[in-house]
């Protein structure tokens, strides 16, 4: 498994295990999944306090059974800020959320803490104060955000001493807006609506690693595009590339993300050991420029 320097700081696997659905597994099943991830070279595990109402973090702690001597083998990331019906980036909430995650994860520190979704009521000075307290106490090593645009990041970074090293964003063959907005510059067609406003380039310039969530999904909650009748051409192309490269179609779809020079980390949320093993094979190939664009167009994305 190849390594990425997240935000030019932490050396982590280019594929990470997303633990959102871990609460649906037994401790034994979760343990087997975590061991499979490690066998495949995955050392990064992505959580959030809302996943399973906190149960995913609890299951992970029981299943991984991390000891002081083995803690260094795990890079643990969690997120906070989403509450029932509202978002909360207040100093008090961030500190309470981290204490809750530390307790559920049974660890003395979190490697990376992300703010989960933009809170329009955010006071950046409160966030900065919370980050400073967490960093100085040793409870959190690094910080980042999720689903934020460049202006929101810049605004928050102005007040934070700690560098924001990650922005977790939805990105996949069937949700390629990050790339598409940069390809449609100066076009008058409706698809040129600049929802991301150079966010991909901004993160690259500022050494902020993009983490791709739902890398095999389309829409926000619609489902998987693999073997999906709505994506016939894409699946035909994935099957073709699968045969050509000697890896499963799911791995081809992840390899498409890993091919981007932004060095994007793919967060895969499977609960299947076999599926995870298939996906991990993405790290064994590199798509050519022509192959990358072939898949991009097959997903319904058009070049100007």
Distance from C-alpha of 50 to C-alpha of 282, rounded to nearest angstrom = 29
Query: Strand, helix or coil at 12?
Result: strand
Residue from 51, 142, 218, 296 carrying the catalytic annotation: 51
- Is 202 designated active site? no
The catalytic site residues sit at 51
């Amino acid at each position: 498994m190849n390594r990425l320097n997240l935000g030019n700081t932490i050396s982590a696997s280019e594929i990470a295990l997303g633990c959102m659905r871990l609460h649906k597994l037994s401790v034994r099943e979760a343990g087997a999944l975590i061991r499979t991830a490690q066998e495949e070279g995955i050392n990064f595990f992505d959580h959030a306090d809302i996943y399973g109402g906190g149960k995913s973090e609890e299951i992970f702690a029981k299943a991984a059974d991390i000891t002081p001597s083995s803690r260094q083998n795990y890079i643990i990331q969690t997120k906070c800020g989403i509450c029932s019906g509202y978002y909360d980036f207040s100093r008090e909430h961030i500190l309470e959320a981290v204490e809750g995650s530390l307790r559920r994860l049974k660890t003395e520190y979190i490697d990376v803490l992300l703010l989960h979704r933009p809170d329009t009521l955010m006071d950046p000075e409160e966030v900065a104060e919370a980050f400073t307290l967490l960093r100085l106490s040793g409870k959190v090593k690094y910080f980042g955000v999720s689903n934020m645009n460049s202006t929101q990041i810049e605004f928050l970074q102005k007040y934070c001493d700690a560098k924001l090293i990650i922005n977790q964003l939805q990105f996949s063959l069937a949700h390629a807006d990050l790339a598409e907005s940069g390809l449609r510059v100066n076009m008058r067609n409706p698809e040129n609506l600049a929802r991301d406003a150079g966010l991909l380039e901004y993160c690259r310039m500022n050494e902020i690693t993009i983490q791709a969530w739902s890398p095999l999904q389309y829409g926000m909650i619609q489902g998987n595009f693999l073997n999906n009748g709505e994506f016939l051409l894409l699946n035909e192309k994935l099957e073709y590339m699968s045969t050509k490269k000697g890896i499963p179609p799911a791995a081809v779809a992840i390899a498409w993300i890993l091919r981007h020079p932004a060095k994007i980390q793919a967060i895969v949320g499977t609960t299947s050991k076999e599926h995870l093993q298939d996906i991990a094979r993405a790290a064994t190939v590199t798509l050519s420029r022509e192959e990358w664009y072939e898949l991009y167009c097959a997903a319904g994305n058009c070049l100007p």
